[in-house]
Structure 1
Amino acid sequence: MTDGLLTWAARLGPGEVVAGALAVNLGLLVLALAAGGLLVRRYGERRVTPPPPPPDRRELLLSATAVLLNSAVGVAGWALWKAGWIRLTADTGLRAVAELLVFTLVMDGLMYGGHWAAHRRRLYRLAHEMHHRYPDPRPATLFVLHPLEVAGFGGAWLAVLGLHEISAAALAGYVGVNLVFGLLGHLGVEPFPARVRRWAVFRWIALPMFHAGHHADPAVNLGFYTTVWDRLFGTVDPAYDTLRAAERPVLAGGRPVA
């Protein structure tokens, strides 16, 4: 099946690829907003950041820009694949799962480094400050990024793809992983109950409250998918493990949670 999809993708024209990329990225935005809205309503009693104010015009504009730029990255990836700079295979099964795991961990390290750099004073003022103007996240905040950050993430993604071949299934899986972690980290609520948050695996896999903690205190929790790099470089919130085990976690930052 994957082989057939790759053959089909290779036959597409540029116009079809542009339309398809726009449709996919718009669909991801709608899915994130719909799923996020359901989770916020379902777990509203577990809010870990104060409720955000109504969205403003800038949020809507930045979200639309992110969709357009992500679509452009997708088109660029297709062009690089057609030119042979990116190599995709039709592998599935355990091999694809292993490739997904490795690719996610590599991107996790790169994104941590990029996020750390984005918090240096000049870069922060240039771009990343835009995201932190919304300290009380909502699902749409995932897409509220400065265009330079969207382009930077897309460029890093394409660069890693150019270094080693990967299965199309693993690549599609990573798109899903990135959306899920990004969405959960911007809910403003913690959907997992305390008994689950206490599992040993969640010492290393980032919970929704991990990135929410970064919005509450931008000096900590710079990672995205795991807590590995924050623990290694000392940027994890010192109270994080205590908070994730609490029945009702209250994040750093000193602001009351409704």
Structure 2
Amino acid sequence: MTVDGLLERAGRLGPVEVVAGALAGNLALFAVALVAGSPLVRRFGDRRVAPAPPPPDHREWLLTVTAVLLNSGVGVAGWALWQHGLLRLSADTGLRAVAELLLFSLVMDALMYAGHWLAHRRRLYRLAHELHHRYPDPRPSTLFVLHPLEVLGFGGTWLAVLCLREISALALAGYVVVNLVFGLLGHLGVEPFPARARRLAVFRWVALPMFHAGHHVDPGVNLGFYTTVWDRLFGTIDPAYDTRRTAENPAP
């Protein structure tokens, strides 16, 4: 089916179908994180960049379920905005969709850095973000262990940016994948990339798994998500990051 056909079909869905689809989609994202992440943790357990986490507790599972439900609600809200013409999707493919994906990811990276910096200010930190840092030793599911206000904050930012200009539906779907991949890799607690790959020039700017793991160890550094650009620009990057990034066997 073409992108046009998929958009036309999505436009005919009823509210119950949209809610069910959003919930199923977010459950699938969570399942992918677990199914893809657990083998990576086992395979690269000799490259730990954070201590092994203890078994998940009840609060961790409750926060995970809450995040999945709230993310589903954000998806339903996005569909409603689209139905009312406030969020515009195109059927563009090819290089245009790739360019829109890149632009949208960079804009979100900048906004998420700013939001993350604000979340670490004392009062806001105690209000919400401190909860995520109560789990300093990450596992794949830690990606979903967030205060509800943070889930809604990210979702609201995402929808607000989407309402600014039309975007390819393929680019939007691609961003969902990009966000999941970076979030998952950043919460593995291991570094799957070999030294020869980590030394490539591109990984000076694209965040490696050890980048976000370093933030869990020291919350004052490595505030970015997809890139290291903003941390380098504003001086919040771990001073030892590049040394560890290029080391043959980075120490935990």
**TM-score normalized by the length of structure 1:** 0.97
Residue aligning to 1:150: 151
RMSD of aligned alpha carbons? 0.5
* CA–CA distance in structure 2, aligned partners of residues 43 and 110 of structure 1: 32
- SS of equivalent residue, structure 1 residue 225: coil
| Alignment-mate amino acid for residue 165 of structure 1 | E
Residue aligning to 1:37: 38
| Alignment-mate amino acid for residue 97 of structure 1 | V
- SS of equivalent residue, structure 2 residue 163: helix
The aligned runs of 1:11-160 (5 Å cut-off) are 11-160=12-161
* CA–CA distance in structure 2, aligned partners of residues 160 and 138 of structure 1: 29
| Alignment-mate amino acid for residue 95 of structure 1 | R
* CA–CA distance in structure 2, aligned partners of residues 46 and 168 of structure 1: 37
* CA–CA distance in structure 2, aligned partners of residues 210 and 233 of structure 1: 16
* CA–CA distance in structure 2, aligned partners of residues 248 and 136 of structure 1: 19
Residue aligning to 2:218: 217
Residue aligning to 2:174: 173
* CA–CA distance in structure 2, aligned partners of residues 246 and 136 of structure 1: 22
* CA–CA distance in structure 1, aligned partners of residues 249 and 120 of structure 2: 29
Aligned residues: 251
- SS of equivalent residue, structure 1 residue 192: coil
The aligned runs of 1:234-245 (5 Å cut-off) are 234-245=235-246
| Alignment-mate amino acid for residue 106 of structure 1 | V
Where does structure 1 lack aligned partners over 5 or more consecutive residues? 251-256
**CA deviation after TM superposition for structure 1 residue 249, in Å:** 1.1
**CA deviation after TM superposition for structure 1 residue 170, in Å:** 0.0
- SS of equivalent residue, structure 2 residue 137: coil
* Structure 1 consecutive aligned stretches of length 4 or more whose deviation exceeds 3 Å: none
- SS of equivalent residue, structure 1 residue 136: coil
* CA–CA distance in structure 2, aligned partners of residues 105 and 161 of structure 1: 13
**CA deviation after TM superposition for structure 1 residue 238, in Å:** 0.6
Where does structure 2 lack aligned partners over 5 or more consecutive residues? none
* CA–CA distance in structure 2, aligned partners of residues 194 and 76 of structure 1: 43
Q: CA deviation digits over 1:35-79, x for unaligned, max 9? A: 000100111111111100000000100000000000000000000
* CA–CA distance in structure 2, aligned partners of residues 62 and 93 of structure 1: 38
